Amino acid sequence: MEYRYGSHTVFNIEYHFVWVTKYRYKVLNGEIAHRVKDLVGRSRSAAEKTKQRILL
């Protein structure tokens, strides 16, 4: 576990996002799916520069 330090703080923030649709409909298809994959990919490369993790 890696802690981050501020001038008067010590913290470790972790998020867990789960996308669930009612009745498990597939809503991320076609162009929307490609756009989401692109955005997540960009977020991953930005996170790696700051030593953060994004898990899929």
DSSP secondary structure string, 1-50?
A: ---EE-SS-EE----------GGG-----HHHHHHHHHHHHHHHHHHHHT
Domain boundaries, the chain: 20-56
**14-28 residue pLDDT tens:** 777 777 777 777 777
Q: What is the pTM of this model?
A: 0.47
Residue partners of 17: CB distance under 8 A and separation at least 6? none
* Structure-token match 């008067």, residue found: 8
**5-56 residue pLDDT tens:** 889 999 887 777 777 777 777 777 889 889 988 888 888 777 777 777 766 6
Find how far residue 1's CA is from the centre of its chain: 18
Run of H or E residues at 56: none
